[in-house]
Amino acid sequence: MAEELLFKVGYYSFYKVINGTKTKYRVDSGKTIFLARFNKHVNNPYRDTKEFPTLVKAREYVKKTLEKRTKEKNKKLSVLPKSLYLVLIKEESSGKTFVKVGFTTKRFIMRRFSKEYGYEGYTLESVLRRINTQDAEKLESEIKDKLKKKKSVKTYRPLLESFSGYSECFDYLSLNDIVKIFDDTTKNYV
């Protein structure tokens, strides 16, 4: 029996399995999963592996499964408490400090900016504002739109490509304007 990895879609791997003269296609969601909290791999208790007679049927199954899981995830996220924040972050390699506006479902903003979430090389200097509201996504979008329209506010592009949320970063020199727009937009939520 020969097995060949064809490609990956999401967290599923597609394999071509040849057993004598028969060819089947197997999808596998993975033997192990990585737990960032404990920094280790463990056996995947939700492992999903199935065989199909054609590659088309395998692709259809994975597509439906991923869509279903995305809907379930979005439904769970929609009821989680959210926080809108305004923070100062220091880039270790350049020594520059910049402003980031965003929202999170994490209880502790410090965790949101840890190495496990792709912020290696950055230090959270201070949390300037934090507002707990279910409208955090809408407010963040509104604030970003206002900031982008204001000519005195310059955007900032973090050096590391892995920086998540780079479109929400602004130059520290614009801090006063950013705080004013943040406060004006959220005054009814405080």
Q: Would you state the pLDDT for residue 62?
A: 94
Q: How do residues 114-172 score in pLDDT, each as one tens digit? A: 766 667 788 888 889 999 888 888 899 999 999 989 888 898 888 877 677 778 899 99
Mean pLDDT of 164-185: 89
Q: Would you state the pLDDT for residue 116?
A: 66
Please tell me the distance from the alpha carbon of residue 98 to that of residue 168, in angstroms, as a whole number: 10
Q: Would you state the pLDDT for residue 107?
A: 77
Nearest Cα residue to 178 out of 189, 186, 170: 170
Model confidence at 189, pLDDT cuts 50, 70, 90, reads confident
Mean pLDDT of 65-79: 87
Q: How do residues 111-129 score in pLDDT, each as one tens digit? A: 777 766 667 788 888 889 9
Q: Would you state the pLDDT for residue 172?
A: 93
Q: Would you state the pLDDT for residue 58?
A: 94
How confident is the prediction for the chain on average, in pLDDT?
Answer: 87
**Top-confidence residue, 105 or 4:** 4
Mean pLDDT of 91-111: 85
Q: Would you state the pLDDT for residue 12?
A: 92
DSSP state of 170: E
**Top-confidence residue, 190 or 125:** 125
Q: What is the reported pTM? A: 0.61
DSSP state string for 95-136: --EEEEEEEES-S-HHHHTSGGGT-TTEEEEEEEEEEE-TTH
